[in-house]
């Protein structure tokens, strides 16, 4: 089984930025933990601050991987292009968020991605990724 974890803008700063919202662990450290817990799965990780690179990665794996776990960051609330990329591929996508976006600023309540994703997991910190991964392996 091949699963891609795809992170969007500013998520390269996890562990450093706004620790009260996003925690103090880097994603790279968390990803190492995931890989050791789920050795039977081929996990790939990609992060970009650029919308086009995220779209390119969705296109690259969207017909061959078993799942994509996507935290598109702020692009969740702005990118019709990423939503279109998700719609264009066969691989199911689960949208994840570290924080509960519905408890935050009103502009974060709207997701362009949710309608084209298999499901949404939000508000469980880094564990949001594990919960999405658990869905794919069941």
Residues belonging to the active site? 22, 97
- Does 108 appear as a known binding residue? yes
Do the beta carbons of residue 99 and residue 122 sit within 8 Å?
A: yes
- Does 14 appear as a known binding residue? no
What does DSSP assign to residue 125? T
Do the beta carbons of residue 66 and residue 3 sit within 8 Å?
A: yes
- Does 77 appear as a known binding residue? yes
Assign 3-class secondary structure to 4-58: EEEECCCHHHCCCCCHHHHCCCCHHHHHHHHHHHCCCCEEEEEECCCHHHHHHHH
- Does 99 appear as a known binding residue? yes
Q: Annotated binding residues, as ranges? A: 71, 77, 84, 98-99, 108
- Residues belonging to the binding site for substrate are 71, 77, 84, 98-99, 108
């Amino acid at each position: 089984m091949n699963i891609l974890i795809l992170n969007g803008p500013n998520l390269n700063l996890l562990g450093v930025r706004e620790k009260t919202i996003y925690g103090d662990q880097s994603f790279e450290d968390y990803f190492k933990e995931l890989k050791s817990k789920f050795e039977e799965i081929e996990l790939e990780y990609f992060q970009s601050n650029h919308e086009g690179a995220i779209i390119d990665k969705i296109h690259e794996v969207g017909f061959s991987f078993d799942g994509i776990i996507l935290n598109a960051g702020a692009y969740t609330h702005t990118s019709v292009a990423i939503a279109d990329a998700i719609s264009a591929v066969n691989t199911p996508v689960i949208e994840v968020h570290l924080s509960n976006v519905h408890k935050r600023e009103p502009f974060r309540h709207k997701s362009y991605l949710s309608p084209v994703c298999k499901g949404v997991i939000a508000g469980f910190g880094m564990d949001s990724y594990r919960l999405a991964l658990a869905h794919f392996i069941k």
